[in-house]
Structure 1
């Protein structure tokens, strides 16, 4: 039976909040592969790991390369695996995330995946730490390894899932998420649980905006359309 709707989820500040632990693991991986202590990290708002690494490396006088990113991705993934138990204690699933993922999974016409700037291992660990991974088809999603920009990530997920644009909806908390979806004509629902206000998500082009995911029924209505 073909799926009628693909739900594309951003992760950080849409489904989960690592409460600063993500930055700590990032800093440890950066030091491991460059030998340089992290003094400052490039702005991460809506960016993918390759771009964050490239800009942060530049701030520290470190030469960026694909080889550096691959080493960094391996180190960052391993750090998340090692610290998964601590992440579960310190971080949290955002209110309503588990209930909404479960409610959507009960509808046979809906498939759910992720569109995230995280590398795949980090994404899987973050979601598993809060029991959010079970309803998601990771093989249909896209990750930091797949593209430098959000439109590229959306394109990859649509291709992997063999989903036409009009049968997809994206949920995210940043203007970059909105732009990524709109670049391919995907309907976007903003979730104002990050640093971006509901008004700014609307201004960026989100079709609708939720204050959070706590109202399962309202979110379902907006997602299903």
Structure 2
């Protein structure tokens, strides 16, 4: 097992560009809670966090009921938008994502995993819609873990894959992904096409930055060895 390596991907902002659906659903949630809408920038700043933590950051000083109503409204609006548009249209893969996942999945020594703030149900629907069920050996979702940047999801992924932290890398677009990976003792790659600024990813400890998906396999080789 020592020769295996694990590559863990975040989802929203890393594999798929779901910002339109997220912003729409979050503002629907705010409306449901009787609160004013927020800017796209503000909403995208919390992508990656679990929903309760996101609600508290978006509405500091809000009541527990307001936070609960926001979360309920968000879940309902997100589900309705996904059903109306279809999973692949509401959360389209970034250019090169499928090709890179296919390349990595074809490497006998490379195992793939996911660590996301999405619910397990939402994650399963998305993966099935792209036919990626056999690509990933471990799927970690918000239902079963503390929110990022807790290392819990990465540590569980390592355990399920049977891979040492020294042979693993976390790939994500937010500071929460990078901080989570660093806290778990794995290497980290920040992606430039997501929802947090590259300078913030570097400040959070990202070991490498990818500006396009095609760079990821070679960056993994640099960090973990070819």
Could you say which TM-score interval applies, normalised by the shorter chain?
A: 0.7 to 0.9
1:147 is the counterpart of 2:146:
yes
Q: Give the structure-1-normalised TM-score.
A: 0.76
Contact 2:170/2:187 (8 A) holds in 1? yes
Task: Provide closer, same or farther for how the CA distance between residues 69 and 24 of structure 1 changes in structure 2, counting only shifts above 3 A.
Answer: closer
Rounded to whole Å, the distance in 1 between the matches of 2:142 and 2:23 is 16
Q: Give the structure-2-normalised TM-score.
A: 0.76
Unaligned runs of 5+ in 1: none
Unaligned runs of 5+ in 2: none
Tell me how many residue pairs correspond in the alignment.
219
Rounded to whole Å, the distance in 1 between the matches of 2:216 and 2:164 is 26
* SS of residue paired to 2:140: coil
CA positional deviation for 1:96: 1.1
RMSD: 3.4
Q: Which residue is 1:206 aligned to?
A: 206
Q: Within 5 A, what are the aligned runs for 1:1-225?
A: 4-28=4-28, 36=34, 39-40=37-38, 43-56=45-58, 61-63=63-65, 75=76, 78-79=79-80, 82-83=83-84, 85=86, 87-137=87-137, 140-145=138-143, 146-150=145-149, 151-215=151-215, 218-219=218-219, 221-222=221-222, 225=225
Task: Provide closer, same or farther for how the CA distance between residues 29 and 128 of structure 1 changes in structure 2, counting only shifts above 3 A.
Answer: farther
* SS of residue paired to 1:136: coil
Contact 1:154/1:181 (8 A) holds in 2? yes
